[in-house]
Each structure stands twice: as C-alpha cells, then as structure tokens.
Amino acid sequence: MQDLLRGRVVAAPGPASPATVAGLDVAYDDSGQRLGAAVVVLDTGDLSVLDTAVVRGRPAFPYVPGLFAFREVPALLAALDRLTVRPEVLICDGHGLAHPRRFGLAAHLGVLTDLPSFGVGKTRLVGEWEPVGATRGSRSALVDGGEPVGAVLRTQTGVKPVFVSVGHRIDLDHACALTLRLAPRYRLPETTRVADRVCRDLLT
C-alpha cells in the first residue's frame, strides 16, 4: 500500500508564507484499547488557536515501526473532517519521507488530503547525520541509503534536536523555517504541543 501511494507524493517548493497550520496528535488510554485524536489549527502570526477538532475511537492497527500510519491515520482523517477552518499545512507527529519506504505518516496524510504536509519527529526511524550545532536553528542533513531524507534541527539552544522531513507539496527549507517559527520557546512546535494536550485531555 505504501509503495503504491508513494507515487502520489508531490515534491513542490513553498508554501511561501502560510497563514494557518494544523497540528495533529493521538493519545492512548492505559489499556491501549481506546484513543483520542486531535487536530488544532493555529495562526502562524501569533500562534493563537483558530480551530480544534477531536475524535475518540480504537486503534486501527498495532504499532509496528514503518507501519505507524495505519494505526493513526483513520482517526486523524476523521478529526480533520470535523475542522471548520481549512489549514494550509499539516504538521505531523512522526516522519514524512524519512521512512524505510519513503512514506511515513506525514506523507500518507498529505497524499490522502492533498494538503502540504511534513513531519516533526522526536526520535529517528531511519538515517544518519553529522552532529548538529548547539544553537537554535542549526541543522544537519538526515541521510538514509545515501539519499537526503530530512533534517535534524535544533529548535532550542542546548536542547536535543528534532527530526524534520517533508511529506507532500512542501520543501525541507520551508518545513524547517515553519518548525522554528512555531517553536519559539520549547523543543516541539506549538502545533504539536497543543494537539498533544487536547487529545490527552480526551482520555481523562
């Protein structure tokens, strides 16, 4: 399925300066039998929350590295469907092309929605990189099998970097620039932080 859908990924420059971005995340209960998914739309200017949509349900697939999208995509699509504001870019908790078959969650969601998308992961799935500079904004190429698949980006000086990789209709430089703009104070972009908080609250 991934090998098939991968052919629908579009590599495009930009987007220049999106006014809205969406953050997506999923949380699970203690049993792992229930999940809560959230999509939040933020204004890139002041990082204010413009819209929120949530969904509760069951995992559609077990967690298997490389097949992560099959677990969370159904719930995230359902949540996206409930949005009132149409986001210009999707920022996913996970990887885009930095995937064994170059089709991680961010690429998967991008193709299915045809919205520009990229992933910001907390840990690596594939690839190697040279040490990243210690200051905010420093980045190092993430390379897998000899090809560049993303960037290891320092969003806060002296804090562990994040892994940025494009999904659909966006280039790496714009993805990194957006990530930095959305992470003025913490390691992760506000989109991810807000979505994480919202979906976690669904389980309590």
Partner DNA sequence: GCGACAG
Partner DNA sequence: ATCTTGTCGC
The single-letter DSSP state of residue 130 is P
139 near DNA, rule: CB under 7 A: no
| Least distance from DNA to the Cβ atom of residue 65, Å | 4
Q: How far apart are CA 127 and CA 145, in angstroms?
A: 7
Least Cβ distance, residue 162 to DNA (angstroms): 8
Instruction: Verify binding: residue 104, DNA, rule CB under 7 A.
Output: yes
56 contacts DNA (rule: CB under 7 A): no
Distance CA 23, CA 8 (A): 22
Q: Is 63 in the site for DNA (CB under 7 A)?
A: yes
Give the integer Cα–Cα distance in Å for 13 and 4.
23
Token code pair at residue 181:
């703009």
Which one of the spans 46-54, 60-68, 132-140, 141-149 is the region binding DNA (CB under 7 A)?
60-68
173 Cβ neighbours under 8 A, 6+ residues apart: none
Binding residues (CB under 7 A) for DNA: these are 25-28, 30, 63, 65-69, 93-95, 99, 104-106, 119, 121-125, 196, 200, 203
